[in-house]
């Protein structure tokens, strides 16, 4: 049986996906192109002067790595040069970027929010990193410049979302609202092939992913859940696996079963992960893969954002494990 390329997959399934227009396909092609360029630079990062800090900080007050800057500019250039989006929101930029034509307007339908290089603090030690993206249809009238309202849509309005993980192999994991599929890059010919069709979370797992260095700062319910995971009862203790890259931790849990937690803490009172380009796209993928994503009490995809770079507590993964966390949080 022939293995489908990503392009062939989109064409074959276009009747099932209401937004699989030519414009949408071109948008995905631009993401693919940028991902291949970033993948190439990551793979040769140790050979060129591209590792380490860029000497600046982003809007979050975090040190920017050289590859952070490179990935951000690469994705923006790929999207802007093809004139297929009307606006871009990036973790690395303070404000959204309107993409306008010569007349000051834009006739394109889509906006894209992204974390161009998630887990970049791990770059210097050769740990897997990734790109996360979220696609919405604009709210503002076609032909007018985009505005902030376009970027403050809840996650349940996403048209598509996905991530690219750069590791021992490079994969794009994508949902267009009809399941989750993984495509692996063949670097010899630069083509993504369908390698993991119909990806779903196991109902439960034995892995929990949380930065236990903040244990003392966590809410009582999270502390109690971690203790529950560590008890030698039934199928426990669970295994603790935390990479420090949302894409990497999520990808492992999606395949093997598990839960990812980045709750609020005394250090990060609103949580640390950003809603629009980290929590929302990963939550969309989670639900499409039959998992569950919450901030501890609310469904992530139903949260109405108030700010472009809004932070949020984030818990996602195998549904039974997430429900157990909610049970512990509900007791406090």
The binding site comprises 91, 115, 117-121, 211, 242, 260-262, 272, 278
CA 287 from centroid of its chain's CA atoms: 13
The CB density around residue 35, as the number of other CB atoms within 10 Å, is 27
Q: At what angle do helices 246-256 and 280-288 cross, to 10 degrees?
A: 10
Annotated binding site for Mg(2+): 91, 115, 117-118, 278
Question: CA-to-CA distance for 137 and 132, rounded, in angstroms?
Answer: 17
Q: Which residues are annotated as a binding site for substrate?
A: 118-121, 211, 242, 260-262, 272
Any residues with CB less than 8 A from the CB of 207 and at least 6 apart, and which? 238, 239, 240, 241, 252, 253, 256, 257, 258, 259
- Count other Cβ atoms within 10 Å, centred on residue 220: 11
Cβ-Cβ contacts under 8 Å for 282 (sequence gap 6 or more)? 132, 161, 163, 246, 250, 293, 314, 316
As given in the structure block, the two tokens for residue 188 are 């010899």
What are the Cα distances from residue 318, in Å, to 230, 254, 294?
Answer: 18, 8, 12
């Amino acid at each position: 049986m022939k293995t489908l390329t990503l392009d062939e997959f989109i064409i074959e399934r276009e009747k099932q996906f209401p937004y699989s227009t030519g414009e949408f396909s071109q948008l995905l092609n631009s993401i693919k192109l940028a991902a291949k360029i970033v993948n190439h630079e990551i793979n040769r990062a140790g050979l060129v002067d591209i590792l380490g800090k860029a000497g600046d900080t982003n809007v979050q007050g975090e040190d920017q790595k050289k590859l952070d800057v490179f990935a951000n500019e690469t994705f923006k250039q790929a999207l802007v040069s093809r004139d297929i989006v009307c606006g871009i929101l990036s973790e690395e930029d303070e404000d959204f970027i309107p993409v306008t034509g010569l007349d000051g307007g834009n006739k394109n339908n889509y906006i894209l929010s992204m974390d161009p290089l998630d887990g970049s603090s791990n770059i210097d030690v050769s740990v897997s990193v990734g790109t996360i993206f979220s696609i919405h249809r604009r709210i503002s009238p076609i032909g007018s410049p985009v505005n902030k309202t376009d970027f403050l849509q809840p996650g349940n309005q996403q048209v598509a979302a996905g991530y690219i993980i750069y590791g021992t192999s490079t994969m794009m994991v994508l949902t267009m609202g009809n399941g989750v599929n993984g495509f692996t890059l063949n670097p010899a010919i630069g083509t993504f092939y369908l390698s993991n069709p119909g990806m779903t979370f196991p109902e439960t797992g034995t892995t929990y992913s949380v930065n236990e260095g903040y244990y003392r700062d966590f809410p009582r319910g999270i502390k109690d859940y971690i203790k529950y995971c560590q008890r030698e009862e039934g199928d426990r203790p669970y295994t603790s696996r935390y990479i420090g890259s949302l894409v990497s931790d999520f990808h492992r849990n999606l395949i093997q079963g598990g839960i990812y937690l980045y709750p609020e803490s005394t250090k990060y009172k609103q949580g640390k992960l950003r809603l629009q380009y980290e929590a929302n796209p990963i939550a969309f993928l989670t639900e499409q893969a039959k998992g569950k994503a919450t901030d501890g009490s609310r469904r992530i995809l139903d949260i109405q954002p108030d700010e472009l770079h809004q932070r949020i507590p984030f818990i996602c993964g195998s549904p039974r494990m997430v429900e157990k966390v909610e049970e512990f949080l509900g007791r406090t």
